[in-house]
Amino acid sequence: MATDVVVPTLGESITEATLGQWLKKPGEAVKADEPIASLETDKVSVEVPAPTAGVIAELVVGEGDTVNVGAVIARIDAGATASTAATPAVEDRNAIGQAEAAAPAEPAAAPVEDAGDPVTLSPSVRRAVLEHGVDPSKIKGTGKDGRLTKDDVIAAAKTQPKPAAAAAAPAAAPVAAAAAPAGERREERVRMTRLRQTVASRLKEAQNTAAILTTFNDVDMTAVIEARNKYKDLFEKKHGVRLGFMGFFVKAACMALRDVPAVNASIEGDEIVYRDYVDVSVAVSAPNGLVVPVIRDAQDLSVAGIEKTIGDFGARAKAGTLKLEEMKGGTFTISNGGVFGSLMSTPIINPPQAGVLGLHRIEERPVVRDGQIVARPMMYLALSYDHRLIDGREAVTFLVAIKNAIEDPTRLLIDL
């Protein structure tokens, strides 16, 4: 008996999603509650579990299709086994459907499939595999259930021996020549993910609605680096998490937001909403891009509590298990572009928030201390804010408070 697999309830006000990736193929056996597909919503990827044990009989929609809550996306032969349920008709029909669905959007994926690779790859991972010329079957995935991510492919490409790559080039040459004649200019059209569409829409909304202005400062990271180097081993031993810089910045932001409450406020209609709590949104990397979970009541957390929360967010973002409610309701955002090498940027606020703090890379620069030119580890800070709500004086005061707390971390302990 066939059992329908339907799109589950995705959260308040979310009525549709995009089928991001099939995790199972027709003819494959599944267990009850085993993930069989990944849905992309406006904020996060959600896995669809099998409602019963059996064998995948049919995939009703293709990757990239938009589906509504409650819609049927697949059918399972309940109680069947892989050896008895998969018929040539089902397999052929699905193969044709998948080929038709994949051909317009993913023409470059054929070499990976022709090579006999049994690994199910998302479009972004396929592109990375082809771009870097690596064998996906030899890469250990770090995503959910061991699936490959784009970061896994890039890391494997960096460690791939160059001689081996050179030796493999002649064998691959005929395929490359057949697929792309010399001198041919290529283009590839890839449908935007729902997450990317939402990000684009919200960023443009912020620019159209808020009066965004950015103020800059720089901060000497010497004291924080010395404190981290001195206590990082004891910190990790006691708390089970690494001591990073974000804990210091979140604590400093909480203190500065208390002193300059307008940066933690928002505009609702013709009213300004001030808050006595701080819910800090922090950007973390996920396989499909950056996501922004929220540290609730950050003003009540210690540096260790903040680091534990961020570490948990990072692990679950990589595994794709963050919940929608964990990414709603932030009052202020901290974005660390420095981990990617950014020297300076003008971040865009996340409505209805009124401010976002941008952190950047640390590099030694010449500065003057006590009349002497010395080299110090410096970081540029950027605060983008909604000028409708926050005056320049308040913005500068807030950023200077962050700078003072980081350059003298004792302030975080004695609440100055």
- Give the residue extent of every domain in the chain: 2-179, 195-414
Torsion angles phi and psi, residue 162, rounded to 5: -65, -40
Mean pLDDT within 149-162 = 75
Q: Which of 42, 387, 408, 415 is catalytic?
A: 387
Q: Is 391 a catalytic residue?
A: yes
Q: Does the structure show a pLDDT above 50 at 106?
A: no
Residue labelled with tokens 């970061």: 151
Q: For residue 405, what are its two tokens?
A: 């707390």
Q: Does the structure show a pLDDT above 90 at 119?
A: no
Mean pLDDT of the chain: 81
What Å distances lie between residue 394 and 90, 194, 269, 280, CA to CA?
Answer: 65, 36, 22, 19
In contact, 310 and 339? CB cutoff 8 Å? no
Torsion angles phi and psi, residue 275, rounded to 5: -130, 145
Q: Please report how the helices 150-159 and 123-132 are oriented relative to each other, as an axis angle in degrees rounded to 10.
A: 10
Element (H, E) at 208: helix 194-209
Q: Is 220 a catalytic residue?
A: no
Mean pLDDT within 95-109 = 43
Q: For residue 304, what are its two tokens?
A: 């260790």
Q: Does the structure show a pLDDT above 80 at 15?
A: no
Q: Choose from 112-126, 155-169, 271-285 the range with maximum mean pLDDT.
A: 271-285
- Residue predicted with more confidence, 130 or 292: 292
- Residue predicted with more confidence, 276 or 144: 276
**Strand segments (E) across 126-273:** 212-220, 266-268, 271-273
Q: Does the structure show a pLDDT above 80 at 122?
A: no
What Å distances lie between residue 411 and 13, 78, 403, 406, CA to CA?
Answer: 43, 63, 11, 8
Task: Give, in degrees to the nearest 5, the angle at Cα 45 between 44 and 46.
Answer: 115
For 84-114, give the DSSP string: HH--HHHHHHHHHHHHHHHHHH-GGGHHHHH
Q: Residue 171's pLDDT is what?
A: 46
Q: With respect to CATH, is domain 195-414 assigned 3.30.559.10?
A: yes
Determine the CATH number of domain 2-179.
2.40.50.100
Q: Which of 33, 233, 391, 408 is catalytic?
A: 391
- Residue predicted with more confidence, 107 or 282: 282
Judge if 2-179 and 195-414 fold alike in CATH terms. no
Q: Does the structure show a pLDDT above 70 at 104?
A: no
pLDDT tens for each residue of 176-222: 445 557 778 988 888 777 777 777 888 888 888 889 999 999 999 99
Which of 25, 15, 22 lies closest to 39 in space, CA to CA? 22
Torsion angles phi and psi, residue 293, rounded to 5: -75, 165
Mean pLDDT within 344-360 = 93
